[in-house]
Amino acid sequence: MRTILYILQKEFIQVFRNRTMLPMIFFIPILQMLILVFAATNDLKNVNIYIVDNDLSSASRKLTDKFQASPFFRITQTGFSPDDAEDALKREKVDMVISIPEKFEADLRRDDEAQIQLIINAINQSKAELIYNYANNILQGYNKNLIAEWKGLPEFNPPKQIKVQPSFWFNSELDYKWYMAPGILAILVTIIGMFLSGMNLVREKELGTIEQLNVTPIKKYQFIVGKLIPFVFIALFDLAFGLTIARLAFDLPIVGSLPLLFGFATLYLVGALGLGLFISTLADTQQQVMFVSFFFMMVFILMGGIFTPVENMPTWAQYLDRLNPIYYFMRIMRNVVLKGSGFTDLTTEFASLIVIGITFLSLAIWRYRKTT
């Protein structure tokens, strides 16, 4: 134990003398929380619309007003030529074209139905689906208003309606920043843990100080543990720092237990730092560590459910995701912070992180070559 304490003392001195690491420790959390949380959003606002109104009737103006009043849509151009509207869509000046044909109101009055054309830029499939769903809701509301206005309702026999009152649990305001902030924090902890721990060990190789450590009577597990513990504390500090920023900047509600959250974070960091140290035992330069770590981290993040639900992935990818430590930690972050889950709700994640942590840490200790 005394040997490990001496190694920890050396590591902390080395970290605070490194001018490269200090900015990463203090400025990365601020940049990630204040930029990525706003940038990584699926909220849809300010959809630009081109209105081609060849009817110029009261019905077409009411339909145009419906879209103008929506907070999601913005009418930026109007005209009478479908070709001009299609050209604006191709040049990405607008996101959707609404074409109202001649005799739109006349067809409604004569046949009780009329057609309009929606042309949506579908390069981004998710955005196109949201645009279509929002536009469809507006059209349905417009249709109901027409029925009530033109057809009227029976005077003594009003229709019976089932009123649905939605209630959204765990994120009642449907604020996407609350959903993204725990996921960004999971990325932050992973970057600090995997990158810094791996680069620190390889830096010893580049400076030649690793040879001085190898000739000491330090055991392999003592050396790896001494390299791991300082970055666990640094990553936990960044997690606390990021939660503070999220609370102050986004009013993020922290419903669950903070001691439970930091306990799971510590367990997760054992695996993440163990992987970083294992990569560093195979590499000779810091550039090699960065490239290999970046490869694993990108795969883990994209398959971790931070930006897209894991349930939407193919079945084989969902099974493969069981080997992904970020998948478990992301679930823990969101469930504890937003849902208030307890330990009994996260036993599967707990057992999985223990297995992953023991595996990666054992690989790092086994692969480290110590010459005496």
Delimit the CATH 3.40.1710.10 region(s) of the chain: 47-151
In our burial notation (b when 16+ CB lie closer than 10 A, e otherwise), range 57-73 reads bebbeebbebbeebebb
Assess whether pLDDT exceeds 70 at residue 161. Answer: no
For 271-298, what is the HEC assignment?
HHHHHHHHHHHHCCCHHHHHHHHHHHHH
pLDDT in tens, 224-246: 888 788 888 888 998 998 899 98
> CA–CA separation, 87 vs 59, rounded Å?
26
pLDDT in tens, 163-207: 667 777 888 777 788 888 898 899 888 888 787 777 777 877 777
Q: How many CA atoms lie within 13 A of 165 on its CB side?
A: 0
Mean pLDDT, rounded, for 49-55: 90
Assess whether pLDDT exceeds 60 at residue 86. Answer: yes
| Predicted confidence band of residue 155 (pLDDT cuts 50, 70, 90) | very low
pLDDT in tens, 336-372: 999 999 999 999 999 999 999 999 888 888 887 655 4
More confident residue, 54 or 108: 54
Q: Does domain 47-151 have CATH number 3.40.20.10?
A: no
Mean pLDDT, rounded, for 305-314: 83
Task: Tell which residue, 187, 333, 139, 134, has the closest CA to residue 252.
Answer: 333
Task: Tell which residue, 179, 162, 161, has the closest CA to residue 309.
Answer: 179
Share of residues in the chain with pLDDT > 90 (%) = 16
Assess whether pLDDT exceeds 70 at residue 267. Answer: yes
Considering the entire predicted model, what is its pTM? 0.77
The mean pLDDT of the chain is 83
More confident residue, 264 or 142: 264
